[in-house]
Amino acid sequence: MKRERILVVDDDDDILEIVTLLLSERGYEVRMLNHGKTIFDNIREFQPGLILMDVMLGDMDGRAICQDLKKDPLIGSLPVILISGTHDLAESINLPGGPDDFIAKPFDLDELYAKVERHLAA
Partner 1 sequence: MPIKILLVDDNENNLLSMEVALEKGNYVFFRANSGREALRILLHEEDFSLILLDVKMPIMDGYETAELIYQRDKLQQIPIIFITAHDYEEAAMFKGYQTGAVDFIRKPFNAEILRSKVAVFAELYRKNQLLRKQEEKLQAINADLLRLNRELEQRVLDRTVALENLNQELQALNISKDKFLSVMSHDLRNPLTALLASSGKLNEDPENLSPGQVKQLSQIIHRTSNKLLNQLNEVIEWAKKQSSKTSFNPQKIRLATGAEESMEVLKPNAHQKKINLQNHIPKDMEVMADPLMLRSIVQNLITNAIKYTPEGGLVRLSAKIEGQMACIFVEDTGIGMAAETKARLFNTDQKSLSGTNNEQGSGLGLLLVSDFVTQHGGKIGVESTPGAGTTICFTIPVIQLDNA
Residues at the site binding partner 1, with contacts judged by CB under 8 A? 11-15, 17-19, 21-22, 25, 34-35, 56, 58-59, 85-86, 105-109, 112
CA atoms within 13 A on the CB side of 72: 17
In the bound complex, what is the minimum distance in angstroms from residue 95's beta carbon to partner 1? 23
Q: Cα(59)–Cα(114) distance, rounded to whole angstroms?
A: 30
Q: Which is nearer to partner 1, 46 or 107 (CB)?
A: 107
Q: Cα(91)–Cα(107) distance, rounded to whole angstroms?
A: 18
Q: Which is nearer to partner 1, 74 or 109 (CB)?
A: 109
Cβ atoms of residues 36 and 9 within 8 Å = yes
Q: Which is nearer to partner 1, 23 or 66 (CB)?
A: 23
